[in-house]
Amino acid sequence: MDASHLMVTGGAGFIGANLVRWLHRRHPRTRITVVDKLTYAGHRRYLQGLLDTDEVDLVVADIADREAMERLFSRSAFDGVFHLAAESHVDRSIDGPEAFIQTNIRGTFVLLECLRQQSEDCRFLHVSTDEVYGSLGEHGAFCETTAYDPSSPYSASKAASDHLVCAYHRTFGVDAVITNCSNNFGPYQYPEKLIPVVIRTLRDGQQVPVYGDGGHVRDWLFVDDHCLALEQVFRSGQSGRCYNIGADNEWTNLQLVYAICDRVDAILKRPDGYSRDQVTFVADRPGHDRRYAIDAGRIRRELGWRPRVDFEAALDRTVRWYLEYMTRIWGI
């Protein structure tokens, strides 16, 4: 990857921190500036060991703060921006949509404005979600030409930011690419999302709430495979293109919860079926999309990307990581 200085927004969050670690490992001479507001989901400790190096630094700032971003761009000649900073929890967007509008839409606008005013060439990789497409039936998959049909304030805010990026590419010639990925899992995910919530709840011997009948389907992607895809899109993706990233790995929520149950029981040496008995069903959340599935054919054909990590092994690794590190990192 031919880049001497990169910005990673949201680089102290779940996917962002994994991406910074990935890029530093593969391109140790590339300087990386992490820009993160350090809200509840972002922590310096996610970057432990990296901030002690000369190549990685952290700027604590809000991407929606135009003056702060203009100062940062004026003193740094970035070769590329990996834009991952976002409010991303659907339930939180239902309870309080305003933060999603501010960060996901205005924040993206501010970055694009700074980028188009910078004279040097700089590629903008906008990391989005498959949730912008809405809900699927039992068959089919989202492709890059699927019409947007967001169901939650979160997905609507990401859809709006996707459209902004496309408009800035077409109107102002900003060198931009967009990725829409399926559900990620792996280390450092804040324990409000499904997989870490289930692990923590089972560890503590509590009941595990599952929305509706547990039949909602998601395509699960290990975060390292996502990082590989982002690197390849940044390096070789066609400007103005969107690339869907998915592992063709569909699980119902209930299937996934049961798989975690069995792993927790094995690791904690509990009787078979102990954790499955803790599963309980609760009222479905408003606007809960029934099924997501990604057609990742474009990124496979054009860039040669494929997921490399076996799902079962990655889930095993993830469950063990949370059981070991949840208390150390989040004190829970």
- Residues serving a catalytic function are 130-131, 154
Instruction: For residue 162, give both structure tokens.
Output: 């996707």
Longest dimension (CA), the chain: 63
Coil vs helix vs strand at 284: coil
Q: How far is CA 41 from CA 175, 189, 198, 310, in A?
A: 29, 8, 18, 27
What token pair was written down for 199? 């692990």
Contacts of 125 (CB under 8 A, 6+ apart): 80, 81, 82, 83, 176, 177, 178, 179, 230, 233, 234, 237
Q: Which structure tokens are listed for 54?
A: 């000369």
| Residue at 249: amino acid letter | N
> Among candidates 37, 40, 43, 49, which has minimal Cα distance to 12?
43
* Distance spanning both ends of the chain, measured CA to CA: 39
Residue with the two structure tokens 């996610």: 46
Q: What is the DSSP letter of 173?
A: -
Q: How far apart are alpha carbons 104 and 165 in whole angstroms?
A: 12
Indicate the angle between helix axes 253-267 and 311-330, nearest 10 degrees. 70
Fill in the DSSP letter of residue 125: E
- Please count the residues of the chain: 332
Q: Tell me, what amino acid is at 32? A: I
